[in-house]
Amino acid sequence: MPLNKEYAEYIRNKFSKLEVVTVRPMMGGYVIHMAGKVLGFISDGQLLLEPGPTIERLLPENEKIELFPGSKLFYVIPDNISDGQLCGIAEAVYDDLPISRPRKKNRTNREETGRKKYFFEKYVTDFKE
pLDDT digits (tens, 9 = 90+) for 91-113: 999 888 887 777 676 655 555 55
In the prediction, which pLDDT does 122 show?
A: 60
pTM assigned to the model? 0.71
Residue 100 near residue 37 (C-beta atoms within 8 A): yes
The residue extents of the domains of the chain are: 5-103
In the prediction, which pLDDT does 5 show?
A: 86
Task: With a cut of 70, list the residues of the chain below it in pLDDT.
Answer: 1-3, 103, 105-129
In the prediction, which pLDDT does 119 show?
A: 57
In the prediction, which pLDDT does 26 show?
A: 86
In the prediction, which pLDDT does 1 show?
A: 44
In the prediction, which pLDDT does 112 show?
A: 53
Beta sheet of 37-43, edge-to-edge order: 21-26, 29-34, 37-43, 46-49, 73-77, 64-66
Query: What's the CA gap between 85 and 82, in Å, rounded?
Result: 5
Q: Looking at the domain that runs over 5-103, which CATH code has it been given?
A: 3.30.1460.30
In the prediction, which pLDDT does 129 show?
A: 46
Query: What's the CA gap between 90 and 92, in Å, rounded?
Result: 5
Query: What integer best gives the mean pLDDT of the chain?
Result: 82
C-alpha distances (whole Å) from 115 to each of 14, 65, 125, 129 are: 49, 45, 15, 21
